[in-house]
């Protein structure tokens, strides 16, 4: 969007207010995330008053790939789960390599993935949400997410989780979005925002990982 973003928050973990950050179109400036204690932190960063990328981003058709493929078949049944007060449709990833599809209303999300190993102590799901978010404001959202559950109990999918040990050697995530305003992000273990060296967005709308990283969402 070509703007600097300063996100300041009161640090209150009981209300899930866990961090602040300073961001620019060029990079993540600095951020603080702490879901364990209530101590705050002062953040400082130097930003350009008129930020711009060295090269403009390529135009992306966010639903081109997703609308061109046949939904992947799956033996896993979809199930509902809450994530930040929104009811998602989830499907569990089974095996260290595979494909997954999950749909909600007009949105279908597709995932192709390869893990370095299928750990028995961690569970991941593919999730879709297509609806009106009504907490702390009202706005319509379409979300596709690869998400680590808090435990292997699927009822905990959508609950807060801060660490991951499963490494995805590669994955490709796409969706049949009805808008061009799509904002991809990759969150690593420790709730660290991934730099662009860890992922790329293809012109047909796929979010693709680069290298094996422990992924939260």
Are residues 73 and 179 located together in one domain of the fold? yes
More confidently predicted of 39 and 129: 129
Q: What is the pLDDT of residue 53?
A: 65
- Range with the largest mean pLDDT of 114-118, 152-156, 194-198: 152-156
Is 39 in the same domain as 97?
A: no
Number of domains composing the chain:
2
pTM for the full model?
A: 0.87
Task: Determine the pLDDT at residue 145.
Answer: 97
58 pLDDT more than 80: no
Distances (CA, A) of 98 to 35, 64, 216: 32, 21, 18
Span of 71-75, 87-91, 119-123, 133-137 with lowest mean pLDDT: 71-75
- pLDDT for position 198: 84
The whole-angstrom separation of Cα 84 and Cα 183 is 17
pLDDT at 147 exceeding the cut of 90: yes
What is the radius of gyration, based on Cα positions, of the chain?
Answer: 18
Mean pLDDT lowest among 9-23, 47-61, 183-197: 47-61
Do both 189 and 205 map to the same domain? yes
Residues 135 and 185 occupy one common structural domain: yes
Tokens of 102: 């999950």
Indicate whether 102 and 44 sit together in one domain. no
Do 181 and 201 lie in one domain? The reply is: yes
Q: Are 125 and 174 found together in one domain?
A: yes
- Whether 51 and 70 map to the same domain: the answer is no
Range of the domain at 18: 1-56
Whether 177 and 77 map to the same domain: the answer is: yes
């Amino acid at each position: 969007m070509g703007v600097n973003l300063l996100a300041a928050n009161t640090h209150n973990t009981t209300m899930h207010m866990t961090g602040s950050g300073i961001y620019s179109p060029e990079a993540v400036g600095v951020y603080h995330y702490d879901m364990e204690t209530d101590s705050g932190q002062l953040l400082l960063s130097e930003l350009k008053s008129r930020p711009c990328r060295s090269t403009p981003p390529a135009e992306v058709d966010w639903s081109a790939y997703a609308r061109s493929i046949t939904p992947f078949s799956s033996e896993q049944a979809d199930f509902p789960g809450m994530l930040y007060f929104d009811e998602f449709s989830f499907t569990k990833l089974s095996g260290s390599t595979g494909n997954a599809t999950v749909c909600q209303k007009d949105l279908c999300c597709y995932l192709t993935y390869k893990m370095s190993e299928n750990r028995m102590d961690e569970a991941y799901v593919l999730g879709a949400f297509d609806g009106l978010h009504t907490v702390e404001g009202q706005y319509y959202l379409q979300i596709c997410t690869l998400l680590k559950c808090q435990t292997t109990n699927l009822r905990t999918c959508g609950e807060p989780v801060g660490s991951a040990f499963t490494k995805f050697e590669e994955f490709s995530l796409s969706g049949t979005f009805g808008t061009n305003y799509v904002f991809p992000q990759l969150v690593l273990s420790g709730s660290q925002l991934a730099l662009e060296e860890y992922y790329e967005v293809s012109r047909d709308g796929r979010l693709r990982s680069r290298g094996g990283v422990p992924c939260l969402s």
